[in-house]
Amino acid sequence: MSHQDFQERFGLYYRSPLMREVVEVIQQVAVTDITVLIQGESGTGKELVAQAIHGLSSRASKKLLSVNCGAIPEGIIESELFGHQRGAFTGAVESRKGYFELADGGSLFLDEIGELPRPVQVKFLRVLETKEILRIGAETVSKADVRFITATNKDLNLEVSKKKFREDLFYRLRSVMIELPPLRKRKEDIPLLVNKFITDFCFRNKIDRIRIDDRAYDLLIEYHWPGNVRELKNAIESAAALNKTGILTSEDFEKNLITSLQTSSHRNLPVHLNKTTEEAERGLILSALIEIKKDLVELKTVLIKDGKEVQTEDHPVSIKEVQKEAIKNALIKTHYNKKKAATVLNISLRTLYRKIKDYSLNLRED
Ligand SMILES: Nc1ncnc2c1ncn2[C@@H]1O[C@H](COP(=O)(O)OP(=O)(O)OP(=O)(O)O)[C@@H](O)[C@H]1O
Ligand SMILES: [Mg+2]
């Protein structure tokens, strides 16, 4: 398949030699049944690559199931993947198929594989090796005809050295590893992507073609894109949506990109993901306190400016309220990108999902 056809069929656009190489590997491995590991920073296109691999395989007419391992609570992930027999544990009133069985005949995309709890990792390795599944509480195994596509935005090598990820599973997965380069290492793709996203936006909204001036172009090429293609797409879409003149200028982008810069500077804070619940809670409280301190500093500046005296009152605030505020703020700041929000908050993605549920924070999807 030519690069042109590939781009149109899978909506994955590129021009850089780095991505051309990646796509050649994708086409080569797609037709086999081999397990693939896609590694790349958030927003580099891992989901699109998984779809392309499935779409080019002999299983294309069957289902591609997607499971985000980081979003399933640790306590139920094994039963979600492997299924269970009736009575296997309290609450298992009926037998249920897990994702491995549901994907039978097709492909299963296991996203955020680095978040798979260690005890489940060993069981997954067995599935890869034997192609057999043992539901929780079952006595006999069932066959699984599944093609596995896995992805991670973590450096699994590092996770292995921290004993968070099993070495044997890592070796098994990395035998076919597709590394998606971050956007800042393939800047040749930026002009093509910019034009593509503008064209799509105008087409979808039935408006005349919006142009973009040279300075804005330069800014977009210069910028380091910590959120990669997703961030570029969001930046173009919000600039285009707010634009009134028909020409995008650098001012149309500066505000958004600066917000992202602030977000990325948070990344320099020590990150302790995957900690125990107690540590995660502490992280949340800490980031909430940092927020409060920032607010206080701002408040003081305002008060000093007005030359007024500060009169403070003691309002006891519950930890729950503080956490809820911190989560809300983080989600708003990261444009509802849960992964970024979790990094900013210094908690794991799983804890974030749990908190959103616990606090009934009814928020937009990613
Ligand atoms: N090469 C590309 N051409 C066009 N659109 C792209 C490309 N790469 C990514 N995108 C778009 O960017 C967004 C993010 O891509 P995707 O969800 O595949 O990234 P990801 O690597 O899975 O991110 P995450 O780690 O956050 O899950 C999507 O809207 C996708 O359509
Ligand atoms: Mg993804």
Which CATH number characterizes residue 318's domain? 1.10.10.60
For 33, half-sphere exposure in the C-beta direction (CA atoms, 13 angstrom radius) is 10
Are 256 and 283 in a shared domain? Answer: no
Distance from the alpha carbon of residue 165 to the mean position of ligand 1, in angstroms: 25
Higher pLDDT pick, 256 / 311: 256
Distance from the alpha carbon of residue 61 to the mean position of ligand 1, in angstroms: 23
Q: For 193-217, what is each residue's pLDDT tens digit?
A: 999 999 999 999 999 999 999 999 9
Residue 51 has pLDDT above 70, yes or no: yes
Q: For 129-170, what is each residue's pLDDT tens digit?
A: 999 999 998 888 888 899 999 999 999 999 999 999 999 999
Whether 165 is in a domain gets the answer yes
Q: Range of 295's domain? A: 277-358
Are 11 and 133 in a shared domain? Answer: yes
Residue 82 has pLDDT above 70, yes or no: yes
Residue that terminates a domain, selected from 181, 203, 224: 181
Q: State how far the Cα of 366 lies from the Cα of 364, in Å rounded to an integer.
A: 7
Atom of ligand 1 nearest to the CA of 232: 12
Whether 15 is in a domain gets the answer yes
- Percent of the chain at pLDDT > 70 equals 82
Most confident by average pLDDT, 77-91, 334-348, 351-365: 77-91
Place of tokens 């699994």: 156
Laid out side by side, the sheet with 147-152 consists of 64-68, 107-111, 147-152, 36-39, 177-179
Residue 255 has pLDDT above 80, yes or no: no
Are 170 and 195 in a shared domain? Answer: no
Are 223 and 111 in a shared domain? Answer: no
Which CATH number characterizes residue 211's domain? 1.10.8.60
Are 100 and 27 in a shared domain? Answer: yes
Are 162 and 40 in a shared domain? Answer: yes
Atom of ligand 1 nearest to the CA of 44: 21
Q: State how far the Cα of 233 lies from the Cα of 128, in Å rounded to an integer.
A: 36
pLDDT of residue 107: 97
Ligand 1 binding pocket includes 186 (Cβ within 6 Å) = no
Ligand 1 binding pocket includes 337 (Cβ within 6 Å) = no
Whether 245 is in a domain gets the answer yes
Residue that terminates a domain, selected from 137, 155, 181: 181
Are 165 and 16 in a shared domain? Answer: yes
Whether 365 is in a domain gets the answer no
Ranges 101-110, 186-195, 304-313: which has the least confidence: 304-313
Q: How confident is the model at residue 269 (pLDDT cuts 50, 70, 90)?
A: very low
Task: Tell me phi and psi for residue 76, to 5 degrees.
Answer: -115, 0
Eight-state DSSP code of residue 237: H
Ligand 1 binding pocket includes 200 (Cβ within 6 Å) = no
Residue 296 has pLDDT above 70, yes or no: no
pLDDT of residue 119: 92
Whether 210 is in a domain gets the answer yes
pLDDT of residue 268: 38
Ligand 1 binding pocket includes 69 (Cβ within 6 Å) = no
Helix (H) / strand (E) containing 149: strand 147-152
Residue that terminates a domain, selected from 266, 289, 311: 266
Distances (CA, A) of 299 to 133, 292, 309: 59, 10, 12
Higher pLDDT pick, 336 / 225: 225
Ligand 1 binding pocket includes 227 (Cβ within 6 Å) = no
- Number of folded domains that form the chain: 3
Whether 283 is in a domain gets the answer yes
Return mean pLDDT, the chain: 85
Residue 258 has pLDDT above 60, yes or no: no
Are 21 and 157 in a shared domain? Answer: yes
